[in-house]
């Protein structure tokens, strides 16, 4: 079985970077005249090998002493002297190898070593400092950027985990809240209307099976949410009888759109608790769902008066507001206002995915 081998980004940059630099120096030598091809070839190969060796030794040294983990100020205090040390190393190896190649290949045209050093050391030292400064800054800036990206990713991952945990906690609050309200409705029917109480128990059993056993599911399709709402209305009608009427107008094209689980049911529950239950003759709860400018508009209208203090204290509305904020990062909107004819209108705007 063949094993795939690939060159790491670090080695690719080393090879390409120093090869380009060596080719540039060869071109400068060629354009300056008196170019010896054999010397040029040895210079090119030795340049690539020796300068990769110097920078790689520095890389191992910095990794060993964990310089990549330092902050920017601490790192700069170490980089500046490192540049001069590596510049001196560049000077020494460049002078020695350049002189040796000339001495071996063209011994008749080579000046004494001290004279060769005196003529070239300043230019080679400045070139070494410049090149090593570029290499060190590029190397450490890359690692610094990678570290910052990792920190941002980790913070984002932790934020998502925290958001999911908070959403799951809020969703978990709704299950017992919904269950207790339904049990209270059944309790009220047991003595007054045992037959309706039995039917209510059957409905509650279906509701538990279809919704409360969904575990930590945060989103549901509009179709499934409306099925839950219809069962909930039927359960409540056993208590309110003709006092509770409801009408649902939903665009069929939105059936598979994902919305917050228990969102419409919370508005329906609020409409009954603060609307129908307080009206002697009951009334009509109207639910209308349409697509509006890239949003899914869910509007629930019921008779009654809007009490902002009572709504703010209720678990369902408070819970729904927090879940919308967390799930849609502030892009969803929720509002309750007085409508025409003594009605209260609750509206949710959810971005359509």
pLDDT tens column, 269-279: 889 888 888 88
Rg (C-alpha) for the chain, rounded Å, is: 38
The pLDDT of residue 94 is above 60: yes
Q: In this predicted structure, what is the pLDDT of residue 79?
A: 87
Mean pLDDT (the chain, rounded): 81
Three-class DSSP category at 303: strand
Q: Residue 171's pLDDT is what?
A: 55
Domain boundaries, the chain: 9-156, 218-351
Q: Is pLDDT above 70 for 42?
A: yes
pLDDT for 313: 52
| Tokens coding 341 | 């004819």
pLDDT at residue 190 tops 70: yes
Arithmetic mean of pLDDT, 158-185: 62
- Closest among 44, 45, 130, 116 to 87, alpha carbons compared: 130
**Pairing state between β 333-338 and 343-351:** antiparallel
Alpha helices, DSSP H only, in the chain? 9-31, 37-64, 72-105, 113-192, 194-210, 222-240, 263-274, 308-313, 315-328
Q: Would the pLDDT of 1 be above 50?
A: no
Higher pLDDT, 148 or 56: 56
Check residue 326 and give its pLDDT. 82
Residue 35 has pLDDT above 90, yes or no: no
User: Roughly what angle, to the nearest 10 degrees, separates helices 263-274 and 222-240?
Assistant: 20
Asked whether the beta carbons of 270 and 285 are under 8 A apart, the reply is: no
- How confident is the model at residue 120, as a pLDDT? 84
Report the SS3 class of residue 1: coil
Choice between 259 and 22, residue whose per-residue pLDDT is larger: 259
The token duo for 176 is 């017992």
Residue 213 has pLDDT above 80, yes or no: no
What's the CA gap between 183 and 119, in Å, rounded? 98
Q: Does position 219 have pLDDT exceeding 90, yes or no?
A: no
* Highest mean pLDDT (candidates 157-161, 193-197, 314-318, 320-324): 320-324
pLDDT of residue 167: 56
| 39 band by pLDDT with thresholds 50, 70 and 90 | confident
User: Please, which residues bridge with residue 334 across strands?
Assistant: 348
Mean pLDDT of 206-217: 64
Average pLDDT over residues 214-224: 79
Four-CA torsion 169, 170, 176, 179, nearest 10 degrees? -140
Q: Is the pLDDT of residue 164 over 70?
A: no
Most confident of 36-45, 113-122, 138-147, 290-299: 290-299
Instruction: Indicate if the pLDDT at residue 342 is higher than 60.
Output: yes
CA distances from 59 to 64, 81, 139, 141 (A): 9, 15, 9, 13
Would you place residue 32 in the very low, low, confident or very high pLDDT band (cuts 50, 70, 90)?
A: low
Mean pLDDT of 291-296: 91
Q: Domain 218-351 classified CATH 3.40.190.10?
A: no
Share of the chain above pLDDT 90, in %: 18
The pLDDT, as a whole number, for residue 154 is: 77
> Does residue 161 have a pLDDT over 70?
no
């Amino acid at each position: 079985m063949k094993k795939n081998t690939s060159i790491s980004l670090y080695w690719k940059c080393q090879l390409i970077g120093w090869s380009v630099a060596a080719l540039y120096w060869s071109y400068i030598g060629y354009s300056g005249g008196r170019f010896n091809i054999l010397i040029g070839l040895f210079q090119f190969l030795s340049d690539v090998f020796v300068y990769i060796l110097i920078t790689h030794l520095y890389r191992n040294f910095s990794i060993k002493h964990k310089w990549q983990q330092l902050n920017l100020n601490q790192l700069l205090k170490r980089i500046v002297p490192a540049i001069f040390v590596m510049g001196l190393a560049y000077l020494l190896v460049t002078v020695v190898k350049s002189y040796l190649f000339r001495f071996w290949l063209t011994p008749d045209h080579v000046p004494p070593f001290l004279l060769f050093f005196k003529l070239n050391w300043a230019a080679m030292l400045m070139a070494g400092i410049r090149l090593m400064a570029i290499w060190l800054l590029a190397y450490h800036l890359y690692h610094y950027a990678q570290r910052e990206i990792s920190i941002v990713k980790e913070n984002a991952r932790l934020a998502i985990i925290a958001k999911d945990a908070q959403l799951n906690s809020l969703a978990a609050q709704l299950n017992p809240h919904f269950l207790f309200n339904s049990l209270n409705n059944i309790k009220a029917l047991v003595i007054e209307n045992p037959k309706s109480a039995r039917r209510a128990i059957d409905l509650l059993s279906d509701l538990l099976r279809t919704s409360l056993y969904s575990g930590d599911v945060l989103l549901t399709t509009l179709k499934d949410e409306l099925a839950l709402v219809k069962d909930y209305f039927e359960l409540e009608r056993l208590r309110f009888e003709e006092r509770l009427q409801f009408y649902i107008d939903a665009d069929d094209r939105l059936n598979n759109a994902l919305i917050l689980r228990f969102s419409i049911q919370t508005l329906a529950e609020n409409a009954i608790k603060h609307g129908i239950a307080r009206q002697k003759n009951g009334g009509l709860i109207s639910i209308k769902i349409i697509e509006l400018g890239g949003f899914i508009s869910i509007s629930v209208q019921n008779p009654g008066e809007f009490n902002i203090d009572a709504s703010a204290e209720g678990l369902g509305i408070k819970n729904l507001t927090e879940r919308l904020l967390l799930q849609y990062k502030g892009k969803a909107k929720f509002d309750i206002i007085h409508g025409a004819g003594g009605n209260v209108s609750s509206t949710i705007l959810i971005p359509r995915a």
